[in-house]
A and B are shown apart, each in its own frame.
Chain A
C-alpha cells in the first residue's frame, strides 16, 4: 500500500509538473502571438503607406521598405525557435526594466524587435545611444561624419581619450559594444545627405535627431515625414535644452491626424547669423546629457507602447490624436522644466500637408539644397589691406609701435587668457555705442600710434575696426587678421586653444 501510494503521488507530481510546463509554454506562445499580431498591423499600415500613389513604384525606396519588413518578420521567426522568447542572459540583463508593468515581456520584445536610427553621435547622441543600447533595442544605427576631438569629451560620453581621431560612429560602437554586445550596431560614418537619407531612414522604425544645425534638422524632418517615421528631436546650447517629438503618430503626408513636423513648427529657417554652435556659445555637459537621456526615454516609451491597436470588433483603427509639446529645460531657471503645447500639422506645410512640395524625388535627386535654404554666415572680410595686420607681423612690432591693443571678446573669454597690456572692450553689436565707449577709455585716448584690435577668430575685431573708422575722429585702427587663433599658429604655440 505504502509503495503504491508513493508511486501514485510521484505520478501526480510529475503530471502536474508537465501541465505546468505546458501552460507556461502556452502563455509564452500567446504573448508572442499578441506581439506578432500587433506587428502585422504595423507592417500592413506601413505597406499601405509605401503603396501611396505619390511614391513612384520601382524606386530603391520601396525596395528598402520591403527589405525592412522582411527583416522584421525574420527576427520574429528566429525568436520562436527557442523555448523562451528571449535568451537567458536577456532576462537577467533587462529584468529590472521588464518587471515594470509599463514594459513587461511584450515591451521588451518590442524593444528587441525595434530598429532605431541616431543621427549625430555627439553630446545628445552619445547618452541617447547608451541608454537605448542598455535597454536592449535590437538594432541601433549611428550616423555621423565627424571624428572625435578632445574638446568633445566633456560631454560626448561614448567617446574617450583613446578614441580621439577615430570616426565618431566607430568610437561610439566600441563603447556601446562593451556596454551591450547583444545589440546589432549599424555604421553610417558619413554626414546625412539628402540623396541617401530616404534609403537609410526606410530601414529603421524611429529616428533621433541629435544633430547641431538647422540644415540637418530640416533634412531629418523631411526624410522622417517621407518615410513615415516618428522623430524625437532635441537640441542644447549653453545651459538650456529643448525637446520635441515630431511626426508622431507618423501618418502619411496629407493626413491631418499625424503629428506636426519640424516645418510645421518652423516653416522658415532662422537667419544664419542668429544661430550659435556649441563651439561659439558654449555648452554644459550635463545639460546636453539631460536632453539626450530624455530622447532615449521618449524613444523607449514610443517603442514599448507599440503600434496602434485596431478594434477587432468593427475593424476600425482608433486614431490617437497628436498632442505635440515642446519641453524646455533651463539649468538656471525655476522650475527647470517647462512643457508647452505646440500647434498641429500646418495645412500648407511644405513637407507633411496635402500642399506638400517636398517629395522623395526632390531629396534623392538633390533638388533641395538645405545649406542654401538655411543660409550660411560668410566669413567677415570687410576691411582694406592697410587696415589689417597679420599676427606674425604684430608680434614682431617693437613695443613702442604697438599702440593700444583692444580685445573684443567677452569678459569670460578674456578671463581665460589675455595678451599682456591688452584692454578688454567686449563687442556689443552696436558699432556707434561700442566706438564711443572704447574711445572714451583713458588708456585708449592717451595711446600713441594705432589701435590694434583682436578677438577670438578675427570677425568681431573687423567690425570693431570699422566702428572706430566710422564713428571716431582720430583713430587709426588695425585688425589682427585671424584673431587669437592666428596668434597661436603664428606667434605663440603655447597660447591656450580653448
Chain B
C-alpha cells in the first residue's frame, strides 16, 4: 500500500514562471509518496524532473532551492511562515510559485 500512494496537489505558476511549464498556470499533480509524507523540497525536485519541459532549470531552481525572486506560497501564505522546504505536504494543498515582477 505504501508504494502506491500519492498526494493530490494543485500547483500554480504565475508572474511568468508558467512559461517554463508548458505555458500553463494550473497543474493537478499527484506527488508520489514513497516516504511517509513528502515535503516541499521533494515537490520542487519532482516538478523539476517531471513537469518542467524547459531545459533552463536554473530559471526555476538554483543551489538546491527555488531561485531568488520566486515566492513560494503554501495555501495562500509565504512558505517562510510554514517551514519552507520542510513543510509536510497534505492532500489538496495548494502550492503557488510566483515570480516577482519588476516592470512599472
List A residues at the B interface (Cβ < 8 Å). 120, 122-125, 210-214, 217, 234-238, 240-242, 265-271, 273-278, 281, 283, 288, 326, 328, 330, 333, 338-343, 428-430, 432-433
> 1/0 contact trace for B68-84 toward A, CB 8 Å?
11110100111011000
CA distance A159 to B62 in the complex (A): 41
Interface residues of chain B, those whose CB is within 8 Å of chain A, are 14-16, 25, 54-56, 58-59, 62, 67-71, 73, 76-78, 80-81, 96, 98-104
C-alpha gap A212/B25 in the complex (Å): 24
24 interchain pairs (CB within 8 A)? A210-B104, A212-B102, A212-B103, A214-B69, A235-B103, A236-B101, A237-B101, A240-B14, A242-B15, A242-B100, A242-B101, A266-B100, A270-B68, A270-B70, A271-B59, A274-B67, A274-B99, A275-B102, A277-B103, A326-B78, A328-B14, A330-B14, A341-B76, A429-B55
**Interchain CB contact (< 8 A) of A236 among B59, B73, B104:** B104
* 10 extra A-B contacts, CB within 8 A, seeds A234-B104, A429-B56, A430-B56: A120-B104, A235-B100, A237-B15, A237-B101, A240-B15, A242-B15, A275-B102, A277-B103, A326-B71, A343-B81
Q: Is there contact, CB below 8 Å, between A269 and B101?
A: no
Residues of B within 8 A of A267 (CB): 68
6 tightest A-B CB contacts, nearest first? A270-B69, A268-B68, A237-B103, A212-B104, A278-B103, A235-B101
Please state if A340 and B77 are interface contacts (CB–CB under 8 Å). Answer: yes
- Would you call A237 and B78 a contact (CB within 8 A)? no
Per the bound structure, the CA–CA distance linking A267 and B25 in Å amounts to 26
State whether A269 and B103 are in contact (beta carbons under 8 Å apart), knowing that A274-B59, A341-B76, A429-B54 are contacts in the complex: no
In-complex Cβ contact of A270 among B14, B55, B67, B78 (8 A): B67
What are the residues of chain B within 8 A of A240 when measuring CB–CB?
Answer: 14-16, 101
Contact B69 A276 (CB under 8 A): no
User: Which residues of the other chain, B, contact A235 by a CB distance below 8 angstroms?
Assistant: 100-104
Q: Which residues of A contact B101 (CB under 8 A)?
A: 235-237, 240-242
B80: which of A125, A211, A236, A343 is its contact (CB, 8 Å)? A343
A217→B102 contact, CB < 8 A: yes
For A342, the closest partner residue in chain B by CB is: B78
Among candidates B15, B16, B78, residue contacting A341 with C-beta atoms closer than 8 Å: B78
Which residue from chain A places its CB closest to the CB of B70 in the assembled complex?
Answer: A270
Closest to B19 in A: A429
Shortest beta-carbon distance, A262 to chain B, in Å? 10
